[in-house]
Amino acid sequence: MLLFPLPHFPRFPIYSCSSSATKRRGTAMAAKLLSRLRQLDTRLISLQHQRPFFRNARLFSGQQIPSSDSHPSLPPTPTPTPLPPPSAGSAGEKRQRTSSLKDHELAKFAAISDTWWDSEGPFKPLHAMNPTRLAFIRSTLCRHFSKDPNVPKPFDGLEIVDVGCGGGILSEPLARLGATVTGVDAVEKNIKIAHLHADLDPTTSTIDYVCTTAEKLVEEGRQFDAVMSLEVIEHVADPAEFCKSLAALTRPGGAVVISTINRSIRAYAAAIVAAEYILHWLPRGTHQWSSFLTPEELVMILKRSSIDVEEMAGFVLNPLTGKWLLSDDVSVNFIAFATKKAEG
Amino acid sequence: MNRLVVRRTLYSNHHQPKCPWKRGFCSGGEAAAAAPASSASSGQLNHKDGSFAGDDQPYDLAIVGGGMVGMALACSLATKPLTKHLKVAIIDSNPALANKLSIKREDPPDPRVSTVTPATISYFQDAGAWQYVQQHRHAFFDKMQVWDYTGLGYTTYDARDVYKDVLGCVVENRVLHSSLLSRIEDTDVQKTIYPSRLASMIRYPSSSVKADDNTREASYIKAGLVKLEMSDGSSLYTKLVVGADGAKSQVRNLAGFKTTGWNYSQNAIICTVEHSVGNHTAWQRFLPGGPIALLPIGDNFSNIVWTMSPKQASDLTVMNEDEFVKAVNQAMDNGYGPHPKSNFSNGSNKFSFLGGNLTMSTNESFEVPPKVVKLASKRAAFPLSLMHANDYVAKRIVLIGDAAHAVHPLAGQGVNLGFGDAFTLSRIIGEGVAVGTDIGEVSLLRKYEAERKPANIAMMAVLDGFQKIYSVDFGPLNVLRAAAFHAANYISPLKRGIISYASGEQRLPIFP
């Protein structure tokens, strides 16, 4: 029997039927690749019956996965990669891709909130990665908003929302850098933990943690100068809709920063096989390879929401020193900085 | 806009009974029970709780120990744009911090001096404190001669071997200290000095306790902070405690850091002496009991550091001044053994195949150090030991300088390691602030440890090795040592490597 799940290729067309001529041209090569993949997929499907095959429609088809919840594309709590917490009963189970996808995603992370903040504990790689992604965010945001980076609080005056904030590992440094931060997460427990921890420091106690979703925030009409969504989009049921919500949350001329994992073979080896099965940094089943997005796809879906990706960088882990570095190699983890056109 | 504020008042709203059981490191639970009720509202967590009233806002850093290394850290933080906003408290009962002593040029040099390496000089220059050192007595030296009592070999080092102007500079400790203080006063950064000694330290664990327990609230409101209590009753809260309080560090003891080390059965005598002529070279002779070093301090004065057994040290300290001067002259000249023969290279060097240009100092003949004319200060003796803390950091606590490591003075490296620690920690804190990290976060502090520990351990190993090799008088070993002198003198790449490692330009002895 297989020791770990084989990568599950998306089976349905990536691009929706309403494609224009320009899109058809651009997608010809991708379509050829997809058709080859689909053939491979059919063979795989026949091997693994328990793998339901409609979950692939995530990317662009616009089909909603039927869900009992009224907010189908709820962004669940993010797990940054790689992340090794004590898992709660998710070892080795094959997930049912049903309408309770959201619940499953949420349940995965609720169990691990307690150990979020121990920087030498199970979340050590996340804490190690945090300064690197903050360095990227700091330099891109300072450049975009013309802020002086050589001051301790360069983000003074900026309103930032952290969608899928988890325990607040990203929100707190942003607040210390001077921003007015709103942290949003769908799991109540995470918000509680984040709140508790943020209150320890007067600088971070001003963070507004809300247990809600991006869609609800859009409905409330909130808007922010910068929208952060790190390591969330690979857990979302419908990334295209999610990106539309992120875009709606951004003011014109504002910035969006998204980080996720590339859908490449290297990422499969690193983020799933190595992180989940060999090193046990993450509970098995945290990530699904088919939910990963390639940089090109991310750029496309953001473009559809009128957000232009301006910069992209990869994160590379040096296994000897345990340090994360920014690099041009986007084949595993990558982060993208994008902007919304200013009005007029 | 000088902001060195000295606090002498007690804080009545934080009256802490001095219970013996509270000494030392205790966990948050007991402290929460003993802590006075915070004025936070009951039950829920508010964003802005009122548990810190007025002056008692928590500090970002508390530097325990305001010596050279502690003030170097404070000065470096104060002069960088990213860190000058940090609230720093300095805990030291030394009155020199509050009222700066004026150092007059006419005074004879204080016997406590340090040799600062070019690397340390450049740190000082970056922080802007070197200009103040230059206003006082200081002595650059560009030549160094090392030999031993057997007379079998000697080595001369010259700064021009590595195409530099100086090998180092000898400065009195009080001059270094006051220069750092002057620099801090220049900047309008607020630093608060607590003129007392640290009595106890309580670290509140960062807890994920449920938010509905009233009595717990006091403890996790202060979680993520360390409470320092002073011997005069005052106390403060801080995010990060820096232990810069010397070899007998109170912070290290309270925090429970384990140390490794041993006592050398040697004491060192230090004093200032005067010559009739100027001295611009550093001299070091290894005697059977230990090395004697003669370092120029400027204005015809030199500093002596003479290592020997405790018995000999006490004898030499009590003998009268003339006898002592005679003993010193003998030790530097003909006593204990003959002069080494000068090397006269006949143009080609048998080691020139190893490459590199021949260093200038290879051809220098052996010189006798200038005679000491009189003693210019009291003699002081102190015991020598090696000590290294197994860890430099723990949650919210970090050690720098002698609190983390103590070495033998035979190469003048001790305080340079300490300055290296201080300036590195300041840089790491700056990097942490740049990405919004909580500066007490142990993962940030580990970066400092990872940078300094290997360098410190390597240097300690080299110095300890020297000390051990020279403490044995054994024929074949003496010949080996002489061979080592010759090797260092003739093999130019080796000599350059030694100079650049000792100057702090190279971080580790083998891999640069």
ipTM of the complex model: 0.77
The vertex-A193 CA angle with A191 and A194, nearest 5°, equals: 60
Taking CA–CA distances from B44, the nearest residue in chain A reads A196
C-alpha torsion angle, residues A151, A152, A156, A159 (rounded to 10): 130
Distance between CA B235 and CA B62 in Å, rounded? 11
Least CB-CB distance to A134: which of B221, B435, B438? B435
- One-letter-per-residue 3-state SS of B417-434: HHHHHHHHHHHHHHHHHH
Q: How many CB pairs under 8 A join A and B?
A: 77
Return the pLDDT at A133.
94
Are A195 and B45 within 8 A, CB to CB? yes
Instruction: Please state, in angstroms and as integers, the Cα–Cα distance from residue A236 to each residue in A59, A61, A106, following that order.
Output: 10, 14, 11
Beta strands at B191-194 and B4-6: parallel, antiparallel or unpaired? parallel
Is the CB of A123 inside 8 Å of chain B's CB atoms?
no
Rounded to an integer, the average pLDDT of B481-499 is 86
Residue A200 is assigned to a ligand binding site:
no
Contact yes or no for B211/B108 (Cβ under 8 A): no
Taking the Cβ of residue A219 and every Cβ of chain B, the question of whether any pair is shorter than 8 Å is answered with no
Inter-chain touch B435–A193, beta carbons under 8 Å = no
> Which of A123, A137, A162, A199 would you mutate first to test chain B, the one with the most B CBs within 10 A?
A199
Rounded-to-integer distance, Cα A293 and Cα A260, Å: 7
Whole-number pLDDT of residue A136: 95
Gap between the Cα atoms of A211 and A164, Å rounded: 10
Q: Residue A138: its chain B contacts at CB < 8 A?
A: 434-435
Q: Do B223 and A205 touch (CB under 8 A)?
A: no
Q: Give Cα B350 distance to the centre of its chain.
A: 40
CB contact (8 A) between residue B436 and residue A206: no
Angle at B400 between CA B394 and CA B401, to 5 degrees: 150
pLDDT score of A268: 93
**What pLDDT is stored for residue A6 in this prediction?**
60
What number of residues does chain B have? 512
Instruction: Tell me the nearest-neighbour CA distance from B445 into chain A, angstroms.
Output: 11
Contact yes or no for A172 and B438 at CB 8 A: yes
Q: B48 and A119: CB-CB below 8 Å? A: no
Tokens of A161: 């929302």
Pick A199's closest partner by Cβ from B45, B83, B225: B45
* Closest B-chain CA to A178: B436
Residue B208 has pLDDT above 70, yes or no: no
* Average of per-residue pLDDT across B341-350: 61
Instruction: State mean pLDDT over B436-444.
Output: 89
Confidence of residue B125 (pLDDT cuts 50, 70, 90): very high
Instruction: Tell me if A173 and B437 make a contact (CB, 8 A cut-off).
Output: yes
Beta bridge partners of B305: B270, B293
CA–CA dist B349, A144 (Å, integer): 62
**From the list A134, A150, A195, which residue is nearest B82 (CB)?**
A150
Nearest CA in chain A to B445: A119
> And the tokens for A60?
């662009």
Nearest-angstrom CA–CA distance, B7 and B233: 12
Distance from the first to the final alpha carbon of chain B: 43
pLDDT at A59: 45
Interface test with A, best of B41, B48, B208, B451 (most A CBs within 10 A): B208
Preferred mutation among B435, B437, B445 to probe A, highest tally of A CBs within 10 A: B435
A234 annotated as a binding-site residue: yes
Nearest-5° angle of CA B99, CA B101, CA B105? Answer: 160
Nearest residue on chain B to A175, alpha-carbon basis? B436
**HEC per residue, B140-178:** EECEEEEEECCCCCEEEEEHHHHCCCCCEEEEEHHHHHH
In this prediction, residue B54 has a pLDDT band, given cuts at 50, 70 and 90, of very low
CA nearest to B219 within chain A? A200
* All residues at 6 or more sequence positions from B417 whose CB lies less than 8 Å from its CB, including other chains: B401, B405, B407, B455, B456, B459
Q: Where are the alpha helices (DSSP H) in B259-309?
A: none
Q: How many Å apart are CA B430 and CA B115, to the nearest integer?
A: 28
Any B CB within 8 A of A343 CB: no
Q: Is A235 annotated as a binding residue?
A: yes
Confidence tier at B362 by pLDDT (50, 70, 90): confident
The minimal CB distance from B45 to the residues A174, A196, A201 is found for A196
| Residue B408 neighbours by CB under 8 Å, 6+ apart | B264, B266, B307, B384, B386, B463, B464, B466, B467
The residue ranges of chain A whose pLDDT is under 50 are 1, 11-19, 21-22, 25-26, 41, 44-101, 106-107, 109-111, 113-114
